[in-house]
Amino acid sequence: MAYDPNNIFARILRGEIPNSTVYEDAHVLAFKDIRPQAKVHVLVIPKGAYVSAQDFGARASEAEIAAMARAISKIAQDMDIAESGYRLIANTGGHGHQEVPHYHVHILGGQPLGRMLSLP
Ligand code: 5GP
């Protein structure tokens, strides 16, 4: 799947749409989800143009991959959920119900999250 430079997260990265930033570095931007599904709901995205987790894992540099992991740990610490626990979700492609075609990891926490999956 080709990267769509007009997807909503690409527009956020270009500053065309406001966001509630919680973390930023050379490779990563993280901001609050506009429709939070838990008390803490942050989206962590690479600044590079990657469609999905599949695309990111195949093409991203080691520096970009490391930056995502480091950012997630730092954000969890900063949001005070590192000890209580949280869930990471990277919806990918059709069966994964990915809506925005720019790789992103959801950090969900701040409350008990229940079982991992609710299948349709
Ligand atoms: P997906 O289903 O692709 O994993 O999740 C996309 C997420 O992006 C959803 O949780 C949705 O609420 C969030 N989202 C969509 N548009 C915007 C936006 O303009 N700003 C922010 N902050 N989040 C958005």
Nearest CA to ligand 1 atom 5: 99
Confidence class for position 53, pLDDT limits 50, 70, 90: very high
Q: How many CA atoms lie within 13 A of 75 on its CB side?
A: 31
Q: Which of ligand 1's atoms lies nearest the C-alpha of 91?
A: 4
Nearest CA to ligand 1 atom 13: 33
- 8-109 folds as HIT family, subunit A (3.30.428)
Helices (H), 1-120: 8-13, 53-59, 62-78
Q: How far is the CA of 80 from the centre of ligand 1 (A)?
A: 22
Does the reported pTM lie above 0.95? yes
Confidence class for position 118, pLDDT limits 50, 70, 90: confident
Whether 21 shows a pLDDT value over 90: the answer reads yes
pLDDT per residue as tens digits for the range 29-38: 999 999 999 9
Contact 32, 73 (CB under 8 A): no
What percentage of the chain reaches a pLDDT higher than 90? 95
Each as own residue / partner, the long-range contacts of residues 65-72 (CB below 8 Å, 24 or more positions apart, any chain) are 67/25, 67/26, 67/27, 67/28, 68/27, 68/28, 68/44, 68/105, 71/23, 71/25, 71/28, 71/30, 71/44, 72/44, 72/105, 72/107
Whether 72 shows a pLDDT value over 90: the answer reads yes
- The encoded tokens of residue 108 equal 């969900």
Q: Distance (Å, rounded) from C-alpha 17 to C-alpha 75?
A: 22
Is 41 annotated in the active site?
A: no
The count of other CB atoms within 10 Å of the CB of residue 104 is 26
Q: Which of ligand 1's atoms lies nearest the C-alpha of 17?
A: 19
What percentage of the chain reaches a pLDDT higher than 70? 100
**Between 49 and 117, whose confidence is greater?**
49
Cβ partners under 8 Å of residue 25, min gap 6: 67, 71
